Amino acid sequence: MEGLLDDGRTLYTDNWYTSVALSKTLIKHSTHLGGTLRSNSRYNPPDAVKAKLNKGDVIAQQNEDKTVVLKWQDKRDVLVLSTKHDSSVVQQNCRSQRCRSKQARYYSRL
């Protein structure tokens, strides 16, 4: 990552690398982080991780560093961490009228 920090870039990772601790480190270097998150990762907000959701439901928590941990229920639980997007929800027009977060919408495009 030498030479890529402090430049306003966004790093997207899979659930093996994404963590709240990494997001705090990258924010200090003006670098955003986004990606899927393991439910057993250290420092995860327990309210978001342990919430029981129905299909299409979304819950999000944001900390003081503007790190958002979001959980939504699709075929299975999906946890997403983002320091770039907020926790707002957008309406997606497709087969079913369901709400999705901006993170979930962007993640689906990748």
Q: Residue ranges per domain, the chain?
A: 10-109
pTM (2 d.p.): 0.74
The Cα–Cα gap between 16 and 102 comes to: 22
* Amino acid at residue number 88: S
**Cβ-Cβ contacts under 8 Å for 13 (sequence gap 6 or more):** 22, 33, 34, 35
pLDDT in tens, 57-105: 888 888 888 888 888 887 888 888 998 877 665 555 555 555 556 666 6
Provide the 8-state DSSP code for 97.
-
Give the strand pairing for 10-13 and 32-36. parallel
